Chains A and B, each alone.
Chain A
Amino acid sequence: MDFRFDEDQELLQSTVREFLQGEVTPESVRALWETETGRSPELWKQLAEIGLPGLLVPEQHGGMGLCEEEMVLLIEEAGRAALAEPVISTAAVAVPLLGEIGGNLANEWLPKIAAGEAIAAVGHPISPFVEDAHVANLLLLPDNDGALHAVPRDAAEVKVQPANDPSRRIASVEFKANESTRIASGGAAAGLFAASLDRGALACAAGTLGVCDRLISLAAAYASERKQFGKPIGSFQAVKHMLADIKVKLEYARPLVQRAAHSVAHGSAARGVHVSMAKLAACEAATLGAKAALQTHGAIGYTWEQDLHIWMRRAWSLDHAWGRSAFHLGRVREALFAGTLPIGPGTTFSGDA
């Protein structure tokens, strides 16, 4: 048993962190808000060069062949930078879904995604919207009967719905379902959607860790500078204690996210519950973090000019995506009260109870 990341994994994370620090700034995030798609094809290309979209693509299809353990580290960095590119929809959800579908669809699209030449977006029965559908080349969508369809974007009608976070682009999508678009139905489709939900929620949880950490450091930096009553406001305990509480929440959400990544990567039977635990805890930390960071900033935090809201909005949008907190709490509650989970000392790690 070793609950740590190895050196290669940590190196990968720091490489991506440094890259994003250089390329994704509050100014560049804001600049993209003004564009039609809100996405940057050049940046996506660069991300492909460092391997991000193809992280989970098997090596024979030109990807890095890594797993969700690495994925959560990189998506945490995406959150810290407030990166808008479709990392979650394409890299974390669509790629493994295509892998599970297999066949021609996987053979055709996985190499293109790994090369940064294509984007894929995934819809889910729990949401009326599809994130990043407007820039996707391939859409993987549910129909009203819960079957799964693969539809080229050109064949669908995509209507972007302006949302609270200007980086988040969600769309309603209409398409003509037929025999040729249908990939799976019934239990098979349900299984694929369930796996996608776990992956999407896991990725949101991971991104949220970075968002929350950034919110805390923005607040701590501001509190160290801003003076009232002749002293930095960060020397007042009301401010200190508010931020300390968020730090506690963040650091105890982190291991839940890492364990969930391990469970998804290894196909553990408890993966759904583990993912829900992680998303719930991480999103709670970040949404509370958003409130605390805003309170710390006072009125200046309430302005559009100040960068704080870039991360506040990201915390809210990740909380909404792939199942809100109440949904995930419900999943854990039902499993816990159904008595199907082994609980108590010695049951946390599988196979030892």
Chain B
Amino acid sequence: MDLDYTQDQRAFRADARKWLEANVPSEPLKSFDTAEGAKQHREWEAQLNAGGWAMVPWPVEYGGRGANLLEWLIFEEEYYRVGAPKRINQNGIFLLGPTIMEYGTPEQKARFLPPMAASEEVWAQGWSEPNAGSDMANIQAAASRDGDHFVLNGQKTWASRGAFADWLFGMFRTDPESERHRGLTFILVPLDLPGITVRPIEQLDGLPGFAEVFFDDVRVPAEHQLGEEGKGWNVAMATAGFERGLMLRSPARFQATAKRLVELARLHGDAVERSVRDEVTRCWIAAEAYTLETHRTVSRLLAAGKIGAEASLNKIFWSELDLRMHELALEILGDRGELLPEAPAAGDVGGWLDGYLFALSGPIYAGTNEIQRNIIAERILGLPR
């Protein structure tokens, strides 16, 4: 066990810090779930990319920096430390990107990864359908082969960033005779094709955070298939692992929230009950535990190894922690906790309320926590189905 950073790692941190401090926008951007905010976020991502910091763990040829996972964690720490904007293309860079690196052809890697790194092409995730939520293997949206094209018909829903995205990835049933997780194919779809209708859906915060997408005889070139035909489930499981596990949920995010929470509680001083301070303390400990566990996982991955079902442990841990921290913040804010940011007496409460509304979705998306508990019980503890 060696818990010190090397000279190189320290130098990497210093470089990242220097660039971020010089470049991070001084004013917070608008929410990327608004047209104006989406534009601002794309500009920020382009700037990140121009600086060479868009996707640090990717190979250089695809717009990355060739950094290892530990350096990526360091970068994330610096990113959250300066309060840099959320990543509008997280579905692309953190989920689809690594999947393309694992399953894509050389042509697909060259075609899709560089514009993804630059967020010239923003991606939406298309798994869910009206009748395929937790039961994702119940996918009905169909892709039938017609020469060198697939013809898509059906519907996807709850596609985050769908309203402002350029592309969508998801699974379609290519074998009409098939059932469950067989006969599905992973396909990459440009959202501007004829026959596609994107209908934004307002989320709990009133903004069009996700969308439903309708496919009506949409023709997609067959080379947009990722992985083997009929084997889409395997490809999708890799993506889902990235979503639950460490790529999308780097610990720095929760550490930054825990720090703000401790500062909020300190600011309110003796007005904060001891029981609340105890809970704040537990949250900070949990954020540290999450950080330590991630470093343990990354150490293992760097030495060879893969993440398996333990991604489900992460998912429950970060989503519950995030929600608890926001609940506590609202408790500390008292009556002001229910104010919208534009209320004259709001002060700085807006961030917590927004964060709370978003944190509520953590136990639902990326596979609900109930589904994760099933996975832990069956695949890790060996309980019967």
Contacts and interface: CB of A to CB of B under 8 A. Distances in A.
Interface string A212-242: 0000110010011000000110110101110
B255 A251 contact: no
Given A248-B376, A251-B310, A252-B317, A332 B296 contact: no
A240 B316 CA distance: 14
Given A1-B295, A3-B295, A240-B377, A248 B317 contact: yes
Interface centre among B4, B288, B291, B373 (most CB of A within 10 A): B288
Contacts of A300: none
B80 A345 contact: yes
A255 B296 contact: yes
Contacts of B206: none
Interface in B4-32: 4-6, 9-10, 13
A44 to B, nearest CB: 29
A254 B317 CA distance: 14
Contact of A349 (B4, B80, B284): B4
Contact of A348 (B292, B373, B380): B292
B373 A241 contact: yes
Contacts of B74: 346
Contact of A243 (B3, B70, B252, B377): B377
Contacts of A344: 81, 255-256, 258-259
Range class of the B interface residue count: 35 or more
Contact of B376 (A69, A231, A244, A253): A244
A235 B256 contact: no
A248 B292 contact: no
Contacts of B381: 216-217, 220, 240, 243-244, 247
A241 B281 contact: no
Contacts of A179: none
B278 interface: yes
B109 interface: no
B335 interface: no
A333 B277 contact: yes
A241 B9 contact: no
Contacts of A3: 1, 3, 292, 295-296, 298-299
B20 to A, nearest CB: 12
A255 B76 CA distance: 20
Centre residue among A5, A245, A252 by max chain B CB count within 10 A = A252
Interface in B291-322: 291-293, 295-296, 298-300, 302-303, 310, 313, 316-317
Contacts of B251: 345
A224 B258 CA distance: 39
Nearest to A260: B292
Given A252-B289, A346-B77, A349-B5, A240 B266 contact: no
A288 interface: no
SS class, residues of chain A in contact with chain B: helix
Contacts of A4: 1, 296, 299-300, 303
Interface stretch (A24-32, A192-200, A316-324, A335-343): A335-343
B382 interface: yes
B374 A237 contact: yes
A36 to B, nearest CB: 40
Interface in A303-353: 329, 332-333, 336-337, 339, 343-352
B200 to A, nearest CB: 33
Nearest to B294: A255
B274 to A, nearest CB: 8
A184 B94 CA distance: 57
A339 B252 CA distance: 20
A259 B292 contact: yes
Given A243-B381, A248-B313, A337-B266, A345 B255 contact: yes
Q: Interface residues of B: mostly helix, strand, loop or mixed?
A: helix
A256 B296 CA distance: 11
Contacts of B292: 3, 255-256, 258-259, 348
B346 interface: no
B348 interface: no
Given A1-B299, A333-B281, A348 B2 contact: no
A351 B9 CA distance: 12
A329 B281 contact: yes
A261 to B, nearest CB: 8
B74 to A, nearest CB: 8
A153 interface: no
A124 B114 CA distance: 62
Question: Which one of B258, B286, B298, B373 has the greatest number of beta carbons of chain A within 10 Å?
Answer: B373
A349 B13 CA distance: 13
Nearest to B290: A252
**Lowest 8 CB-CB distances: which A-B pairs, in order?**
A240-B377, A255-B292, A344-B259, A234-B383, A345-B252, A244-B376, A346-B77, A345-B77
Given A2-B1, A262-B1, 20 more contacts: A1-B4, A1-B6, A1-B299, A4-B1, A220-B383, A223-B383, A234-B377, A240-B377, A243-B381, A243-B383, A244-B376, A248-B317, A251-B310, A253-B289, A277-B288, A337-B277, A343-B262, A344-B81, A345-B78, A345-B81
Interface of A: 1-6, 69, 216-217, 220, 223-224, 231-232, 234-235, 237, 239-241, 243-245, 247-248, 251-256, 258-259, 262, 277, 280-281, 329, 332-333, 336-337, 339, 343-352
27 contacts: A1-B70, A2-B302, A2-B303, A3-B299, A6-B1, A217-B381, A234-B383, A235-B383, A237-B370, A240-B374, A240-B383, A245-B373, A247-B313, A253-B289, A258-B296, A277-B285, A329-B278, A339-B266, A343-B255, A343-B258, A344-B81, A345-B256, A348-B255, A348-B288, A349-B4, A349-B5, A349-B295
Interface of B: 1-6, 9-10, 13, 70, 74, 76-78, 80-81, 251-252, 255-256, 258-259, 262, 265-266, 277-278, 280-282, 284-286, 288-293, 295-296, 298-300, 302-303, 310, 313, 316-317, 370, 372-374, 376-378, 380-385
